[in-house]
Amino acid sequence: SGLRVFPNLDVMRPGDPEEAVGAFVAAMERTDGPTALILTRQKVATQAEMPAKGRREGALRGGYVIVRETAPLELILLASGSELEHAVDAATKIGSGVRVVSMPCMERFDRQSPDYRESVLPASCRKRIAIEAGVSGLWYKYVGLDGKVLGIDRFGISAPCPVVMKELGMTADAVVEAAASWA
């Protein structure tokens, strides 16, 4: 998350293999500045809820709806990188009024038209939770003052990945708990 503060640097954190393809294409096509591809060593789930082409194109736009709500919109979950699968899992547990937004590149998303950004993050839905296995501060421009960010605002710990993620609250169950706390 620290690289995101560098001006004119597109930071791409793809959340599945198809987003990684889109991120690579974005990096190769960009001519007006550098792009950093931040890839995980972990095995990440392929997010087959959306066709591969849609995930590649979504990565090129920086952010997109990967799981659309099937009932009136009540909550938006945002994530990038390996945290995306936690958001998708949490949405399944929470219910039909939840939208999941994959945000592989904040900088690219911010360059999209206001209409596109509104279609992904409608102002009418103020219940938003972002999941970031890093510093949380940059997500507040997307979740707003009413939203929540599950982030890591302290120095990490050393252990196998599943142990670390659970200890730091980076799990689907932690997202479900954060959503329930609005009740």
pLDDT in tens, 97-156: 999 999 999 999 999 999 999 999 999 999 999 999 888 889 999 999 899 999 887 776
Domain that holds residue 51: 2-180
Helix (H, G, I), strand (E, B) or coil at 120: helix
pLDDT at 60: 95
- Please, which pLDDT band fits residue 64 given cuts at 50, 70 and 90? very high
Structure-block tokens of residue 154: 């302290």
Count the neighbouring beta carbons within 10 Å of the beta carbon of residue 41. Answer: 6
Q: Is the pLDDT of residue 11 over 80?
A: yes
Q: Are 10 and 35 in contact (CB under 8 A)?
A: yes
pLDDT at 183: 58
Q: Report angle CA 50, 51, 54 to the nearest 5 degrees.
A: 85
**Residue range 24-56, pLDDT digits in tens:** 999 999 999 999 999 988 788 888 778 889 999
pLDDT at 107: 97
Looking at the structure of the chain, the number of domains it has is 1
**Which residue has tokens 């501060």?**
137
Higher pLDDT, 122 or 165: 122
Strand 98-102 vs strand 64-67: parallel, antiparallel, or unpaired? antiparallel
- If we measure between CA atoms, which residue out of 114, 44, 128 comes closest to residue 81? 44
What CATH number has the domain bearing residue 60? 3.40.50.920
Helices and strands (DSSP H and E) totals, the chain = 8, 7
CA dihedral for 145, 19, 9, 1, sign (positive or negative): positive
Q: Are 104 and 19 in contact (CB under 8 A)?
A: yes
pLDDT at 93: 94
pLDDT at 49: 78
- If we measure between CA atoms, which residue out of 99, 100, 120 comes closest to residue 108? 120
Helix (H, G, I), strand (E, B) or coil at 138: helix
Per DSSP, 72 falls in state S
pLDDT at 1: 63
pLDDT at 47: 82
